[in-house]
Structure 1
């Protein structure tokens, strides 16, 4: 396993590293810089070469040092921990959205005002990455394509929006969006919706 991989084995890797206090967030199944850093920490403790990728020796040592993760450990319902904000999020008013930690941080001048768990589109309907701005908002909206409710929608990229999802609230990460950024905490999103203005920056990154 290495940087850029995304599969269930990566999710198990993260859950096992979390058992050993090397990975401090909910498993995402995506192998990014945070996972590579956690692997290096484990390799250092084991006296292995600090590659940041998982070869057979590293994996076998990890299996020996940890136990098989439970379903809740693989997909916990707990709130995800924020990662280090992207550099593009450090100035102005920004919805800073991390695909790796699956979080949205509402930031003003480099300070986190509020944060919440999010989920993204599937491989077939991916959430676009990059720097955008809030184009328009709708407190009550129904998708014209999928005919599903999208409360507190803040559109940022050709139909993709941050919005509340009752499916995310009910099923968690067992599901996915059609490309939008889903939020499961309705109260937090309602408060955020009132603060965000059309024209505020949106950054979607790994």
Structure 2
């Protein structure tokens, strides 16, 4: 009988069922519940639910950044009419708002920061800006002064870098971006002298103001230009050397004397 009960216990363990215990007289008594040990229970497969979240795009440039890359960003934003000033080379408030507008129009997060996704989208919509698009409103570095500028008081004007250096005895005191005449009315090159200064000059030939004019060759002069201040290198002069910074040329006008040398070179 003991062997029978042992066999029934084994079956119960394996089957996980309820077995009936029998007395010696063969009568059934209270059923005995055989519980399976935890170790015998099937181990459920581990399931881990990791929320899927896209990796944020890497931020390339943001407010306060400066440099050539910012100029290119601003130049490309100009091409798609999201910014209308500059390029300045500084990631300023206007650039933040332009980037936000560009992002929002294309369903990107409106952060105002230029991340890799925003930049790639802008690249696909624009072309590589040229040098004078990057420096449309000035800010370009000046090239080395011409050897003829190294002595005396000189307005040293470079056509290659589009800059004017005000130099005294080989030392640069002021550097300004300048604009020249067009293909049909070119600015003459060579060595000249300032022969006349006219603070509030007005051109009767072209019917336009030429304030702070310093004449050096016929009707050609260094002077302030409102058109250059407004449009940058998108325009040109009738042969004069235009300056867009009125405050700077006002100071320069007071320093330059009649008879000072003017060198226009490449």
The answer to whether the superposition gives a TM-score over 0.5 is: yes
* Aligned position for 1:23: none
Cα pair distance change 1:151/1:130, threshold 3 Å: same
Cα pair distance change 1:73/1:130, threshold 3 Å: closer
SS at match of 2:175: strand
Question: Which residues in structure 2 correspond to 1:145-184 (within 5 Å)?
Answer: 145-184=205-244
Which segments of 5 or more consecutive residues in structure 1 lack a partner in the other structure?
1-17, 20-66
SS at match of 1:125: coil
Task: Using structure 1 for the length normalisation, give the TM-score.
Answer: 0.66
For 2:179 and 2:187, locate their aligned partners in 1 and report how far apart those are by CA, in whole Å.
Answer: 9
- Of 129, 132, 138 in structure 1, the residue corresponding to residue 192 of structure 2 is 132
> After TM superposition, which residue ranges in structure 1, 4 or more long, deviate above 2 angstroms?
70-78
Question: Which residues in structure 2 correspond to 1:93-112 (within 5 Å)?
Answer: 93-112=153-172
Report how far residue 147 of structure 1 moved. 1.0
Report how far residue 144 of structure 1 moved. 1.9
- Of 246, 249, 260 in structure 2, the residue corresponding to residue 186 of structure 1 is 246
Question: Which residues in structure 2 correspond to 1:18-97 (within 5 Å)?
Answer: 68-70=127-129, 74-76=133-135, 77-97=137-157
Report how far residue 68 of structure 1 moved. 4.0
Asked if 2 retains the 8 angstrom alpha-carbon contact of 1:133 and 1:156, the reply is yes
Whether 1:203 aligns to 2:263 is yes
- Root mean square deviation, CA, Å: 1.8
Task: Using structure 2 for the length normalisation, give the TM-score.
Answer: 0.51
The higher radius of gyration belongs to 2
Asked if 2 retains the 8 angstrom alpha-carbon contact of 1:133 and 1:200, the reply is yes
- Give the number of aligned pairs: 142
Report how far residue 72 of structure 1 moved. 8.5
Q: Which has the higher contact order (CA 8 A, sep 6+)?
A: 1
Normalized per residue, the structure richer in strand is 2
For 1:138 and 1:81, locate their aligned partners in 2 and report how far apart those are by CA, in whole Å.
Answer: 29
Per-residue CA deviation, residues 107-143 of structure 1 (Å, 9 max, x unaligned), is: 0000000010000000100000000000000010001
